Amino acid sequence: MATYIIRRLLLVPVLLFGVTILIFGMLQFLTPVERSALYVREIPKNERQINSIILRYGLDQPLYVQYWRWLTGTKDQLTGERNGGILFGDFGWSRTGSQPVANLIRTRFPNTLDLTLWALGPVILVGIWLGVQAAVHHNGFIDQAGRMFSIIGTSFPTFVFGLLVLMIFYANLQWFPPGRLSTAMTVVVRAASFKSYTSLLTIDSLLNGRFDVFIDALRHMILPILTLSYLSWAVFLRVTRSSMLETLRQEYVTTARAKGLPERDVIYKHARPNAMIPVITLAGFTVVGLMGGVVITETVFDYPGIGKAAAEAAQQLDVITVLGFALFNGFILIIANLVVDILYAVIDPRVRLS
């Protein structure tokens, strides 16, 4: 197990290198002038200044020199100040956010994480539970209802579903508000007495003992969560169901029954762990899907997360910001895959011991 994890961890730098190469490659589609936004806030208009910036930050240098500078940044010869350098967390200046890209991520990402965690948890837990139930009661009521639910879920485009939900619950019924917080609660959160422990609003509000803030935040999140997770729910249910059906047909399940085990043990102790292997793969993909899904969902619900910021940046051709987000997303996916691979090993001894 330990060697497996170490070997898997050794892969992380390789993957990170791959991601940076990819993003850096994309940056090369920009002109040197546009790329200077990696280092300066205002791109100057007159040619002389432009040339001096290109010279100063080596934007005309060979690719490997530029790549290295992109990673580690440049030192100002007068002040000794470092400029740029994604390894130091400097992703350049976001034109649309009017702040460094890294800052933008720092303020927006917790909101997105808050949203995706609330979406992911129920998806995984209830999705797996429903999938198992559907397989155990094959062709029964839960199975049929689940199948209907997942067919609708997989065939609805996210933005259509989001708009529909918005129309019904926000416009017509007025049950749930859009945005992040109501004004009254924003005042509470902005106050000095409200401490930020995790930057995740729902968790912080609980830690501060402000249950009203928690409820308010959740109320604002319910529609985005619903939109974001419906597709994932549906896919989870289907994959768990079919994997479980397949597993229940295996001979070792008959062996377990022939041993005289109660059906509960046969299903939950013998069949389910085996059925989880493809589901874990799916969990990895789901994280990817959710990160993509937030772009649409947050835009539809005017939710101030990283997805909405990315959409705004893309609309205004703010490539530096978009690629900064892409880089950040790459990191998250690498971590998600790492977690998935470790989970494989936990569940399947054939992975752990080979």
Partner 1 sequence: MPDLLLDVQGLETEFKTPDGIVHAVNGVSFGLGEGETLGVVGESGCGKSVTMLSVLGLIPNPPGKVTAGKAFFFGQDLLKMSKEEIRHVRGAQISMVFQDPMTSLNPVLTIGRQLTEPLILHLGMTKRQAETRAAELLGMVGIPNAAERLGDYPHQYSGGMRQRVMIAMALSCNPQILIADEPTTALDVTIQAQIIELVKRLRDELGMSIVWITHDLGVVAGIAQRVMVMYGGFIIEEADVKDLYANPQHPYTISLLGSLPRVDETERHKLTSLEGMPPILYQKPNACPFAPRCKFVIEHCWKENPPLLDIEPGHRAACWVDPETGRSRV
Q: Give the phi and the psi of residue 93 in degrees, each rounded to 5.
A: -100, 130
**Which x/- pattern, by CB under 8 A, does the window 310-349 give for partner 1?**
-------------------------------------xxx
User: Alpha-carbon distance 332 to 51, whole Å?
Assistant: 36
Region for 80 from its dihedrals, namely left if φ exceeds 0, alpha if ψ lies in -120 to 50, beta otherwise: left
- Is 147 a binding residue for partner 1 by CB under 8 A? The answer is no
* Residue 305: Cβ-neighbour burial (10 angstroms; 0-12, 13-18, 19+): buried
Q: What is the DSSP string of 172-186?
A: IS--S--SSS-HHHH
| Cβ-based nearer residue to partner 1, 63 or 353 | 353
CB of 136 to partner 1, least distance (A): 12
Instruction: Kindly state the smallest distance separating residue 8's Cβ from partner 1, in Å.
Output: 19
Number of residues that bind partner 1 (CB under 8 A): 24
Written as one letter, the residue type at 130 is: L
Using rule CB under 8 A, residue 259 touches partner 1: yes
Q: Rounded to whole angstroms, how far apart are CA atoms 286 and 116?
A: 10
For residues 238-257, which are near partner 1 according to CB under 8 A? Answer: 250-252, 254-257
Instruction: Tell me the window of 11-19, 154-162, 259-267, 289-297 that interacts with partner 1 (CB under 8 A).
Output: 259-267
Residue with token string 């902005």:
190
Site for partner 1 in 125-144 (CB under 8 A): 138-139
Q: Which is nearer to partner 1, 44 or 278 (CB)?
A: 278
Task: Give the pairing of strands 74-75 and 93-94.
Answer: unpaired
- Supply the minimum distance, in Å, between the C-beta of residue 277 and partner 1: 9
Distance CA 260, CA 161 (A): 47
Instruction: Work out which of 6, 192, 258, 264 binds partner 1, going by CB under 8 A.
Output: 258
Cβ atoms of 85 and 75 within 8 Å: the answer is: no
Smallest distance, Å, CB 354 to partner 1? 8
Binding site for partner 1 (CB under 8 A): 138-139, 250-252, 254-263, 269-270, 273-274, 347-350, 353
